[in-house]
Amino acid sequence: MAKILVTGGLGFIGSHTVVELQNEGFEVVILDDLSNSSEDVLDRINSITGIKPLFKKLDLKEKSKVQSFFEKHNDIQGVIHFAASKAVGESVENPLLYYENNINTLVYLLQEMQKLETANFIFSSSCTVYGQADAMPITEDAPVKKAESPYGNTKQIGEEIIQDICKINSEFSGIALRYFNPIGAHKSAKIGELPIGVPQNLVPFITQTAIGLREQLSVFGDDYPTHDGTCIRDYIHVVDLAKAHVVALKRLLQGKNTSNYETFNIGTGKGSSVLDVIKSFEKVSGQKLNYKIASRRAGDVIEAYANTEKANNILGWKSQSSLDDALASAWKWEQNIRKNS
């Protein structure tokens, strides 16, 4: 079966995608610098699939090491690129870190992929490329607007770099998956979202507050023009998202793509507010959450949820899990990780 490189493969979305790739028979190689992940995820993947993926600790910012890796692994048939810094708030505070981590690394990776006979590339993009879209739900044809944060900007620039390569190299095929807000965990509760330090994302902050690790959850803003005043997002179960990567990869490997650069929105098509998420979590967990309303956070858009028709009908993928399902799995994971730590 095809050999696939997954960068950032020990992270949250990466590890779930590795599991789905292995379930489909792919040989997986993982590159990860362990800056926001842990090597014990390898054993956790192994305990789910029965296969321990090949792993190399590597910082993609080190160009010579990226070159050496590809010289050794010149039989890679596809790359799924997750390795990136990914928090909107942090990117506003430290933009240069985000440009270095998310752009330099992409360029070094693509330079090596250009040398392969055929290059199939799945890019981990984001709904942040749309900024505050004019209309909901957001289609792939919605204009890419000036980014609201340096993180969003790195995803826009990343997509443009890939498009530029696709224009001049017909042997290079890329798909940008613009995903919305991944949450939840594998049903085994052996892998999930485990941020190092203070969580930058809503759901791990919720679960850590519920388990007593955090004193209080801050809801950033309750004066947005939404049904309850809090921001609206499209929360997608991470396993559904992982499966979308496998479907997209197979599309390229089987030559089903209609052009050598395509984009797909990966979401549920349903918008949920921050307070909707809190209520859903309280329902599935039986826990009462300690939260307070705080001032708005820089870089946050009011609402973003996907039109998923293109992904459903052309890519042939559809999300399966509800918000309650995803939050129940996140809570199960949080309890499991604390019990065993």
What was the pLDDT predicted at 341? 63
What stretches of the chain show up as alpha helix (H) in DSSP?
12-23, 41-49, 63-72, 88-93, 95-99, 105-113, 150-168, 202-210, 238-253, 274-285, 309-310, 323-339
What was the pLDDT predicted at 290? 97
What was the pLDDT predicted at 298? 82
What was the pLDDT predicted at 300? 87
In the chain, the N- to C-terminal Cα span, in Å, equals 36
Q: Summarize the confidence of residues 196-224 as an average pLDDT.
A: 95
CATH of range 3-183+237-267; options 3.30.420.40, 3.40.109.10, 3.40.50.720, 3.40.50.150? 3.40.50.720
Longest dimension (CA), the chain: 55
Q: Which of 315, 259, 248 is nearest to 4 (CA)?
A: 248
pTM of the model: 0.96
Cβ count within 10 A of residue 338: 13
Taking only the tens place, the pLDDT of each residue in 145-174 is 988 889 989 999 999 999 999 999 999 999
Percent of the chain with pLDDT over 90: 89
151 part of the active site: yes
In the chain, what are the domain boundaries?
3-183+237-267
User: Which of 130, 151, 179, 261 is an active site residue?
Assistant: 151
Taking only the tens place, the pLDDT of each residue in 291-321 is 999 999 887 889 999 999 999 999 999 999 9
Residue-averaged pLDDT of the chain: 96
